[in-house]
Amino acid sequence: MTCDIKGLRVLVVEDDFDVAESLRAVLVKAGCDVAGPVSTVEAACDLAKNTPLDAAVLDIALSPGTSAPVARALLYRGCPFVFVTGFSNVDMLPEELRGYRVLLKPVDGETLRAAIHSLVQPII
């Protein structure tokens, strides 16, 4: 089954320019409408609270801080998200956020598309 995520509006939070560009390129190719990418907690929270979103991709470690406030804002409005990280553990995250799906860098396009697809699948 192909993972059709066409038309979804996806927030990308990633502090590395090149990685952000790569994530954006993958999502744009898959037909997504990308919100961002943004590199700071402030800008990400603004988008998470104030724009329509279907899903989000969050780099855990931002400079400075982590994307935990962004994840909380998304949880509050019921927007699903997936974490992306270069670290092999999720110790940086507060405990209540450790159960969420984490993709390890580098993330290939197929994995990212599949992850976003599973986020927005209706639960039957």
Partner 1 sequence: MSVSSTDPSDIADDPRILRERIAELECERVELERARQVQFGASRVLESVAAGASLGDVLLILIDTVEAVKPEMLGSVLLLDDSGKRLRLGAAPRLPGFYNDAIEGITIGPAVGSCGTCAHTGERVIVEDVQTHPYWTDFREIALQAGLRACWSHPIISSTGRILGTFAMYYREPRRPDQSDLDLITFAAHLAGMAIERIRTEDALRASEQRLRALIQSAPVCIHELDTDRCVVSMNPAGLKMIGLSDEREIIGKAYLDCVSDGDRARVAELLEAAFAGASVEFEFTATMQEPPRVFASSFVPLKDSDGTVVRIMGVSQDITDRRQAERRQALMVQELDHRVKNNLAAVISIAQQTADRSESIEEFESALTGRIRSMGIAHEMLAEARWEGVQLQEMLARVLDPYRRDTPDCIKLTGPDLMLPAAIATPICMAVHELAVNAAKYGSLTNSAGQVSVEWECVEGDPAELRLAWRETGGPTVSRPVRRGRGTMLIERMIAYQLQGEASLDFDPSGVRCSIAVPLVEAIGNGQGTPV
Residue ranges that bind partner 1, judged by CB under 8 A: 15-22, 25, 37, 39-40, 61, 63-64, 85-88, 104-108
- Minimum CB distance to partner 1 smaller for 38 or for 54: 38
CB of 18 to partner 1, least distance (A): 4
- Minimum CB distance to partner 1 smaller for 103 or for 120: 103
Angle between helices 17-29 and 109-120 (to 10 degrees): 60
- Residue 44: its H or E element: helix 41-50
Sheet holding 33-38, edge to edge: 33-38, 9-13, 55-59, 81-85, 102-104
SS3 category, 34: strand
CB of 36 to partner 1, least distance (A): 10
CB of 21 to partner 1, least distance (A): 5
